[in-house]
Amino acid sequence: MKALIYCTVIVGLVPVQSVLLSHLSVWGVKPDLGFVAVCLIGLIAGELDGLLVGLALGWAMSLFSAQDLISSVILKGAVGYIAGLAGRQVVYLSPVVLVMGLLVVSCVVGLVTPLALKLSPQQDLLWAAWMVVLPQACLDAVIGGAIYWLLWSRLNIEQVMSESRM
Amino acid sequence: MRMVNLRVSYNARRLALGLAVILVLGFLLLPGQLQSVFQSIGSPLGWVISWPLQAVAGIHDRIADIWGRYVALQGVEEENQQLKRELDLLKEQNGQLREASAATERLSALLEFKRQALPTSVAAQVIGRDIGNWYKTIILNKGASDGIQSDQGVITPAGVVGRIVKTTASTAVVLLVTDPNNAIAGLIQRTRDEGIVEGTTQGQARLKYIPLLSNARPGDHVVTSGLVGGFPRGIPIGTIIRIDKEEEALFQSAELSPEVDPNRVEDVLVIRSFPLPTEGERLSVPKPKP
């Protein structure tokens, strides 16, 4: 069942991200649903699930982007693994804390990405921070927080987290 | 509600974790080889993902069509009148240009372009946009199984769209001409000065490395030079809107307004091959037709 959910997430996220999200972009910046999904999976299901789903999602997303395979796979895998480790350290996680956490992690990943991609000199770190990283981090945090709040208000999230990690 | 757990033993988890670490280390130590292996393995995965992708794109197009036909009709009559006026003006300009071109050397250049512009090309539809924020790309519904490969040029009748950077079996990713990481060999049509066209972060394009002595000016058209890349000579890229000339600089550059609006492009042609002119052919004077 869990594997089926992960496969659906991997196969379904690419069309949503590439077709629908271009209409929901704010100032030309779209949220990274892959990042949000990997964070939540790592947080809820543990570091191994986060890592494996991150690697697979990074691979699938790189097939439909100009981003190179290595940076996409390693960054998504690392995010899933770190989210899993972070989830292991907390007993109770409120949506507000999750939003702040997603904001910080998305900013860090966003600042590492242009260095990993070797972008054009026009796209320097200052440009990246103001034009892409910060707006995308805000969108990621809001969407991640909303999804987590839905799960949190309808499920016993602590129980799901402890069961998933067994 | 309980989430069904796929229980794995501690050893299996350690093994999976170990394999993942080896994979990541492999990526760091052998980036080129592993990347090409995963790119080729990923082709079937891309094919699987392309089905929901095309389905979502189809639904999206249908909704957009209904919206465009029935909902977003406000101001259409006024726009129609304005377009008619513009069409009349363009017709007049077009007639003048046809008359002028018939008497000058540009006719021979146009004939040369016509000969070159008969490459084998593949028509494709745009089914998606880049999934991230770092690149400006579009996704096409044709891929490696249709003969599309990396570095092939993508055009519309209006001009250059970009070039292919990645393919799966049934999709292809096009890096747009407005992306700062793209570089296309360009030529100012009037002055014949060559340069490199790059995208800008503002969604425009820039022609770099124009010689200082060039008398290029706003309004000049820039076309592909046909020297390198997947484009034949003479495909429109953009129109110069501003010349930037810095003191003590070795070259000047020009800001372009692209001929094709990449955000609105729906159908494109992928140039699979075209006869690349040799250096001798390129430099020689065009021969008059008998």
> How many helical (H) and strand (E) elements, i.e. helices and strands, does chain B have?
5, 12
Strand partners, B140: B126, B172
Please check the confidence at residue A27 and state whether its pLDDT lies above 90. Answer: no
Comparing CB atoms, the residue among A3, A59, A154 nearest residue B6 is A3
**Stronger pLDDT, B199 or A89, i.e. the higher one:** B199
Residues B186 and B250 in one domain: yes
Please calculate the CA angle A72-A77-A79 and round it to the nearest 5 degrees.
100
Measured between CA atoms, the residue of chain B closest to residue A135 is B133
Residue in the structure block whose two tokens are 């693994």:
A81
Cβ of B7 within 8 Å of Cβ of A166? The answer is: yes
Residues B143 and B231 in one domain: yes
Q: Nearest CA to CA, how far is A126 from chain B (Å)?
A: 13
Q: Amino acid identity of B215?
A: N
Q: Nearest CA to CA, how far is B35 from chain A (Å)?
A: 6
Domain of B187, CATH number, reads 2.40.10.350
Listed by start position, the domains of chain A span 2-164
Q: Tell me, what's the pLDDT at B280?
A: 57
Q: Tell me, what's the pLDDT at A88?
A: 82
| Cα–Cα nearest to B183, from B159, B167, B205, B166 | B205
Residues B152 and B94 in one domain: no
Mean pLDDT by 10 residues, chain B (290 residues): 50 79 73 71 80 84 79 76 85 73 56 56 87 90 90 88 91 93 90 90 90 89 83 88 84 90 86 64 50
Residues B126 and B66 in one domain: no
Residues B108 and B13 in one domain: yes
pLDDT in tens, A127-165: 888 888 999 999 999 999 999 888 888 777 777 777 766
Alpha helices in chain A (DSSP H): 2-15, 33-45, 47-62, 69-89, 95-117, 125-128, 134-154, 157-164
pTM of the model: 0.74
Comparing CB atoms, the residue among A12, A69, A160 nearest residue B35 is A69
Contact between B209 and A100 under an 8 Å Cβ cutoff? The reply is no
Cβ of B56 within 8 Å of Cβ of A160? The answer is: no
Q: Residue B278 domain-assigned?
A: no
Contact list in B for residue A154 (CB cut-off 8 A) is: 1
Measured between CA atoms, the residue of chain B closest to residue A134 is B133
Residues near B46 by Cβ (< 8 Å), separated by ≥ 6? A63, A64, B143, B168, B169, B170, B171
Contact list in B for residue A75 (CB cut-off 8 A) is: none
| Cα–Cα nearest to B263, from A40, A22, A119 | A22
Residues B260 and B133 in one domain: yes
Q: Tell me, what's the pLDDT at B3?
A: 44
Contact list in A for residue B208 (CB cut-off 8 A) is: none
Rg of the Cα atoms in chain A: 15
Q: Provide the domain limits for residue B201.
A: 122-270
Contact between B185 and B226 under an 8 Å Cβ cutoff? The reply is yes
| Cα–Cα nearest to A14, from B140, B38, B53, B173 | B53
Q: Tell me, what's the pLDDT at A103?
A: 93
Residues B24 and B68 in one domain: yes
Q: How many other C-beta atoms are found inside a 10 Å radius of the C-beta of residue B246?
A: 9
Cβ of A19 within 8 Å of Cβ of B168? The answer is: no
Q: Residue B161 domain-assigned?
A: yes
- Longest CA–CA span in chain A (Å) reads 48
Residues B63 and B140 in one domain: no
Q: Tell me, what's the pLDDT at B289?
A: 42
Residue A122, SS3 per DSSP: coil
Q: Is the ipTM of this complex over 0.90?
A: no
Please report, in angstroms and rounded to a whole number, the separation of the first and last CA atoms in chain B: 83
| Cα–Cα nearest to B257, from B215, B201, B283, B219 | B219
Cβ of A65 within 8 Å of Cβ of B130? The answer is: yes
Cβ of A66 within 8 Å of Cβ of B13? The answer is: no
- Total domains in chain B come to 2
Cβ of B46 within 8 Å of Cβ of A59? The answer is: no
In B109-250, the DSSP E strands lie at 120-129, 137-140, 153-156, 159-167, 172-176, 183-188, 194-199, 205-211, 221-224, 236-244
Residues near B2 by Cβ (< 8 Å), separated by ≥ 6? A159, A160, A163
Query: Which of B14, B33, B67, B131 to probe the A interface (max A CBs under 10 A)?
Result: B131
From B116, B149, B165, the end of a domain falls on: B116
From B74, B92, B116, the end of a domain falls on: B116
pLDDT in tens, A41-74: 998 888 889 999 999 999 999 889 888 888 889 9
Cβ of A66 within 8 Å of Cβ of B55? The answer is: no
Residues B61 and B85 in one domain: yes
Contact list in B for residue A14 (CB cut-off 8 A) is: 49, 52-53, 131
Q: Which fold has domain A2-164?
A: Arp2/3 complex 21 kDa subunit ARPC3 (1.10.1760)
Alpha helices in B103-143 (DSSP H): 106-116
